[in-house]
Amino acid sequence: MNEPATGEEAPPGQCWHNMFRNPIMVSGYPILTKHEHGLGVEMPLNMVAGLAGSERANQFDGKVFIKGFSTMLIAVKITTDLLIWHYFYNSEGERISYLDHTLQGVDDISLLQLDTARHVVGWCSDSMYYAGAADARYDIRGTGLPHPHAGCLLEKVSISGGKVIEGGVTFAVGVKDIPPHLTRNWYIPKLRWIATKYVVLWDETDKRGWLVNGISALLHLVRASLEHYRTDDFSSSFLFDPSKMTDAAEHKPNSAHKVLIDDNNKQLEIYPGKSERFEEDEAKQKEAEGSRTWKKKRGYYLFEDLVEQHYNILEQIMDHHSHMAGRNGVNLKVRVRKYLEGWDFVELATDHDPCPRIATLQALGYGWVDFIRSIGAVTLFGRGFGDIIRPIEFDGMCPNWRSLPTRKYYLAANLFKAFYGIVLEISLRHVNVKDVDRSGGTMIQFKFSGPEGRV
């Protein structure tokens, strides 16, 4: 086994190594199947406690502990029937405190669950979220997928970019004249709304998908548009300087929020806008006569305007899906699961009026189609999205899972807090959630079963 150097933290899933002085690995020994790899080592609860030098489990500060004098384990996660523990110890053999840990966002686990769960010592919860990130891939290509055929949900749906309303007499609305239901600054409420929605970025070349929150998908579209504008036929007028943009420090599901609400980012210039010529009278101090000068006021198409433009399209798409699905999704229940309906990402990013598209899935992907329909997620098709969610690598990681496998029709997601309640609701129907992390940093796998009960 590969051991970390003295003083280093054990790689994810390998903290149990420190429970033994000379661990010996035996291959071929029959053990129960775990629902996922890399979690750690499974052992009976009494053995877990014995190796920690303890005979009891305690509840302290909202967490379940098995604590000895210089060692302790904390129950961090419940995954189906597996209870995952993280092992801590004092390397000098001195007393370890209940407070000598940095764990946050552990699952809500009670002492009553200990008797019915299988126990695994190990812990891995790190992934990086690239939806909307500055260093994600934006050389995304169109799909050329066919339009929906007769009987499809989006068969007759059309979307338009609309028209910006300009001209007319200049006016201002007084504060006392604004009705209570009219929001004066609607930018933040729009972002707050779309942050509660879900989008699947489906890679038609790799045959895999990424379930992301709506605000991250919005920023992903905005960045893809900026990349397109940089090299298209109008690039000579392109003013945007990416070095002036304030980006999020981390690759997290809520990173897009920080980028889109940043005041500096909102005012970054993308294109020169309409210029207005106007007169201005100036009174001179030493002369009785005044003077008249002509001045020019130049406007700009800003980053905030591009965000609003893509929000407008995504809002229409989401409302169309909601309308076509019918009350409580009744119209979705009779749809064939092998057809995934959505929109071309590149058409949206390059300012074309988008047309609905349809992809055909193999049976491997049928189950999660029910799932995304249940949560009202819309699909954007493309080729070359890259790894939108990436596990943070560690020694011993399975090579096949350093990246979401291609051509397996897998759907990957990051279970951030806003998604947690929906997963619990949907899992009561046809989704078996194998790993739920409310702290916002875990790439998960799902096992889906259809209405017939087949996995």
Extract the tokens encoding 411.
């759907």
Supply the DSSP string of 306-362, one letter for each residue: HHHHHHHHHHHHHHHHHHHH-GGGGGGTTS-TTEEEEEEHHHHHTTPPP-EEEEE--
pLDDT at 96: 83
Continuous H helices in 235-302: 255-261, 263-266
Task: Give me the helix-helix angle, 187-194 and 303-325, nearest 10°.
Answer: 50
Q: Angle, to 10 degrees, between the axis of helix 303-325 and the axis of helix 214-229?
A: 130
pLDDT tens-digit readout, 208-247: 999 999 999 999 999 999 999 999 999 999 999 999 999 9
Q: How many CA atoms lie within 13 A of 125 on its CB side?
A: 23
Burial of 122 (0-12, 13-18, 19+ CB in 10 A): buried
Angle between helices 214-229 and 187-194 in degrees, nearest 10: 110
Q: What pTM, to 2 d.p., does this model score?
A: 0.65
**pLDDT value of residue 206:** 95
The whole-number pLDDT of residue 86 equals 82
| CA geometry: angle 180, 183, 188, nearest 5 deg | 145
Task: Give the per-residue pLDDT at 117.
Answer: 67
Residues of the chain under the 70 pLDDT cut:
1-41, 79-81, 102, 104-105, 116-126, 158-185, 274-297, 325-336, 364-366, 393-401, 415-455
224: nearest Cα among 138, 165, 309, 152:
138
Say if CB 411 and CB 368 are below 8 A apart.
yes
For the beta carbon of residue 25, count every other beta carbon within 10 angstroms: 7
Phi then psi for residue 121, to 5 deg, are -95, 120
